[in-house]
């Protein structure tokens, strides 16, 4: 990590800058809580589109005149 005061690189396990003795920010564990995406769209949107597609497909089927 880099010191916020003097921009000197410090080892990650150091709590104080070796150069200016400034307290270094604690490395925060990366918590990746990104929503699952597929091709740039969230998964739920794909599911919604699939549902709409299926619904319209079945809707067309049922709307066809039966027994002409």
Binding residues for Zn ion, rule: CB under 5 A, are 3, 5-6, 8, 17, 19-20, 22
Closer to Zn ion by Cβ: residue 14 or 19: 19
Chain-centroid distance of CA 25 in Å reads 25
Residue placing its CB nearer to Zn ion in the complex, 27 or 65: 27
Please spell the DSSP secondary structure of 34-66, one letter per residue: PPPEETTEEHHHHHHHHHHHHHHHHHHHHHSPP
- The minimum distance between CB 4 and Zn ion, in angstroms, equals 8
- Smaller CB separation from Zn ion, 20 or 51: 20
The number of residues in the chain equals 68
């Amino acid at each position: 990590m880099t010191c916020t005061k003097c921009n000197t690189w410090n080892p990650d396990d150091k709590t104080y800058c070796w150069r200016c003795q400034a307290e270094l920010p604690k490395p925060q564990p990366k918590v990746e809580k990104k929503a699952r995406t597929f091709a740039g769209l969230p998964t739920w949107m794909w599911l919604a589109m699939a549902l709409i597609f299926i619904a319209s497909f079945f809707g067309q089927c049922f709307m066809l005149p039966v027994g002409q």
